[in-house]
Amino acid sequence: MTVIDANRMHEIETRYPEYFHRSFRQRFGGLMILIATLLYSLYAVWFFDLPKLFAEAHWERVGIYLSQWVSYDVQPELRIEDDGSIDIRYPRFSPLGDNPHPDWLVNNPDGSITVSISGTSRTVTVSKSETIVTAHGVSVPVEVSSGAPKVVGPVPGWMTVYDDNVLADLGFAGNVSISVDRVKIRKRFVGWANFIFDTQSSFFDKPVGEVVSLIVSGPRIKPDQSNLSLAFDDIWNNSEWQHGDVWTKLFQTIVMAFLGTLLGALTAFPLAFLAARNITPNRLLNQILKRFFDFLRSVDMLIWALFLTRAFGPGPLAGSGAIFLTETGTLGKLYSEGLENIDNKPREGIKSTGAQTVLVHRYGIMPQIVPVFVSQTLYQWESNVRGATIIGAVGAGGIGLKLWEAMRTNANWENVAYMVILILIVVFIFDAASNALRHRLMGTKTH
């Protein structure tokens, strides 16, 4: 065992004071950060009143909206006439078309009508005197012959009785609203209704094989137009999904992002040389340009879009202008900082040969900064594809406005899902393309 005497210990302490004489920050810094984070979290809980927020949140709406993203409903209304007959009506723009005869709605020999909500486990049978709702293994009769609907027997938990109607909640499958003279049924289906052909199309409700046969070799439905052209027109001009308008707006969004980023990069590039201290030794000019970049990027793209839509009216021009102003500030700052961090040795070597300033920049600076500049510009372009969607919601054009219109109705969530998926696909494609270009320019391999 080695014994260290006092002199040796003092020598070690003198040589390595950072280990033996640590400051208060070094000893308790980690603990102080932990305590500060905990205190801030408690403050945030109090400031936002999170317990009340979570208690009063309408969590059930999350499931409702998500179900509407991937499904649609059909709403037949069964009206009980004075003579005891039952008249079946559908909304004006029903997914089933103008003259529906679904197989899940059956006319019984006794004059009653049975509607299958979900197979045989959830059904509704409507007659002139009562409505029988079968769900969760029980059948609950509701009398409708008196002044108000009346549940016969105990009321199950999935059924709610109001003054003038009875509501049966059958979960994702749908619901039933029963009043004295009518029964409203909401039956839900998984999928997107009429995504290819709407109810006005000549190909609506035809099997896939029949549609293909008509397009390939069938007789012309319209004498002056081929069936292939007619099918494309019906898909492109689908009144329910508006594929043509959605894809046009999506292309506008891509063009807005590209044009705004390109103009911002072309403007920021020469200004960055003037803002970089090591390139342009004029402190006043450097500071003016840097503060100009700060001003442009400190005003959010959304605010610029609001200003420009007031000036030029709604449309893609305002969106491109908003991206251009924001990107001039952002890329100008990035470019100038990149220039200030270059290695000056190649530049000084070329300058020592007596080369002109343009050649010094061309051969001493450009090889160092081009890969970095292109990488930053590609990333901003990819980011602006997403940003262009947001500013479109305030009138700057593109698919953002289309998305906002669909959300505002609070009823077309399947259309919202369709556009969100398209935006995600575009972002993924641009992300992959920009990554590939960046790696190619930087000389690295993708993994």
Report percent pLDDT > 90 for the chain: 30
Does 21 have pLDDT greater than 70?
no
Q: Quickly count: other Cβ atoms within 10 Å of residue 308's Cβ.
A: 24
Give residue limits of the domains in the chain.
20-57, 73-190, 243-442
Q: Greater confidence, 366 or 226? A: 226
Judge whether 198 and 93 are in contact, CB under 8 Å: no
Q: Which residues contact 261 (CB under 8 A, 6 or more apart)?
A: 323, 327, 377, 380, 381, 384
Helix or strand (DSSP H, E) at 331: helix 316-340
**pLDDT confidence band for 348 (50 / 70 / 90):** confident
Taking only the tens place, the pLDDT of each residue in 29-75 is 788 899 999 999 999 999 888 888 888 888 777 777 888 888 999 99
Q: How confident is the model over 143-153, as a mean pLDDT?
A: 84
Closest by alpha carbon to 124, among 190, 87, 178?
Answer: 178
**pLDDT confidence band for 317 (50 / 70 / 90):** confident
In CATH, which superfamily holds the domain spanning 243-442? MetI-like (1.10.3720.10)
Q: Render the burial of 197-214: b for 16+ CB within 10 Å, e for the rest.
A: bbbebebeeeeeeebeeb
According to DSSP, residue 4 is labeled: P
Q: What is the mean pLDDT of the chain?
A: 85
Judge whether 165 and 159 are in contact, CB under 8 Å: no
Q: Which pLDDT value is given to residue 347?
A: 73
Does 145 have pLDDT greater than 80?
no
Closest by alpha carbon to 326, among 374, 372, 268, 378?
Answer: 268
Does 443 have pLDDT greater than 70?
no
Q: Which pLDDT value is given to residue 405?
A: 84
Would the pTM count as exceeding 0.85? Answer: no
**pLDDT confidence band for 430 (50 / 70 / 90):** confident
Judge whether 78 and 88 are in contact, CB under 8 Å: yes
Q: Greater confidence, 241 or 27? A: 241
Q: How confident is the model over 165-185, as a mean pLDDT?
A: 91
Q: How confident is the model over 97-122, as a mean pLDDT?
A: 88
Q: How confident is the model over 431-435, as a mean pLDDT?
A: 81
Q: Which pLDDT value is given to residue 19?
A: 62
Q: Which residues contact 154 (CB under 8 A, 6 or more apart)?
A: none
Q: 174-178 and 86-89: which strand pairing?
A: unpaired
Q: Quickly count: other Cβ atoms within 10 Å of residue 188's Cβ.
A: 18
CA angle 232, 238, 411 (to 5 degrees): 155
Q: How confident is the model over 279-297, as a mean pLDDT?
A: 90
Judge whether 114 and 124 are in contact, CB under 8 Å: yes
Q: Which pLDDT value is given to residue 246?
A: 92
Judge whether 123 and 117 are in contact, CB under 8 Å: yes
Q: Which pLDDT value is given to residue 235?
A: 93
Instruction: Report the DSSP beta bridge partners of residue 67.
Output: none
Write out the two tokens for 7: 């002199």
**pLDDT confidence band for 387 (50 / 70 / 90):** confident
Does 401 have pLDDT greater than 60?
yes
Taking only the tens place, the pLDDT of each residue in 233-283 is 999 999 889 999 999 999 999 999 999 999 999 999 999 989 988 888 888
- DSSP string of 263-319, one letter each residue: HHHHHHHHHHHHH-TTTS--HHHHHHHHHHHHHHHHS-HHHHHHHHHHHH-SSHHHH
Q: Which pLDDT value is given to residue 123?
A: 92
Does 411 have pLDDT greater than 80?
no
Q: Greater confidence, 223 or 263? A: 263
Instruction: Report the DSSP beta bridge partners of residue 124.
Output: 115, 133
Q: Which pLDDT value is given to residue 183?
A: 92
